[in-house]
Chains A and B, each alone.
Chain A
Amino acid sequence: DGGITQSPKYLFRKEGQNVTLSCEQNLNHDAMYWYRQDPGQGLRLIYYSQIVNDFQKGDIAEGYSVSREKKESFPLTVTSAQKNPTAFYLCASSSGLAGGGVSRETQYFGPGTRLLVL
């Protein structure tokens, strides 16, 4: 089955700790994205990557870091600099450069990781 997986489903962070959220896709998509969703809010873009070994800051990148060493993987690290990390984190992918027309922009989401602070 093709899809996007995120792990863990729930993650607890202690103060001052860095934690890493995993995102893997087997859709052969070029582009991948990380969003944060707070209760009752829409999605806010943290980072995105249109191709391996390249990524761009989104609207709320401070306190987060990413890497894109493989096409299938786009892990997100929530650093200790992120003072309010409690949120629902969503990873998405789209065909990006390889796709055609609007389909290349259509984003598909993983199941999400809920991050809580102890």
Chain B
Amino acid sequence: QKEVEQNSGPLSVPEGAIASLNCTYSDRGSQSFFWYRQYSGKSPELIMFIYSNGDKEDGRFTAQLNKASQYVSLLIRDSQPSDSATYLCAVNIGGGTSYGKLTFGQGTILTVHP
């Protein structure tokens, strides 16, 4: 089992719809969870992080964390064509002394079509 696994893509949604991206992780001791967006040929840019169970909202983005089920998700409301990118989930596997060391999922490609 991979340490961080994202739902297989690519994911295609119509403009204005809600895009749902999921990520599961293997280590129950993980404390911090990050979502990055990566446009083709560019470097990842941070969307948001979450570390408490529940929802965290930032504009059109909502991160959801469920530590008991070991998953974290990202919802994008009112999806726009400019949201078309690869979304990377990153987890601080192990926490503690390995703080700062993130393990990335393989990414989910999202396409928002007009």
Chain B contacts of A42 at CB under 8 A?
Answer: 4, 88, 104-107
In the complex, number of A-B residue pairs with CB atoms less than 8 Å apart: 58
Query: How many whole Å from B8's CB to the nearest CB in chain A?
Result: 12
B4 — which chain A residues lie within 8 A by C-beta?
42
Q: Dominant SS at the B interface?
A: loop
| Contact mask for chain A residues 38-68; partner B; CB cutoff 8 A; 1 contact, 0 none | 0011111100101000000010000000000
Known: A43-B44, A90-B43, A111-B43. A106 touches B101 (CB 8 A): no
Contacts of B107 in A (CB 8 A): 40-42
Query: Interface on A for B, CB 8 Å cutoff?
Result: 31, 33, 35, 40-45, 48, 50, 58, 90, 94, 96, 102, 104-112
10 new A-B pairs (CB below 8 Å) besides A40-B107, A50-B100, A107-B46?
Answer: A31-B100, A42-B88, A42-B104, A45-B102, A94-B100, A102-B49, A102-B51, A105-B49, A106-B34, A106-B46
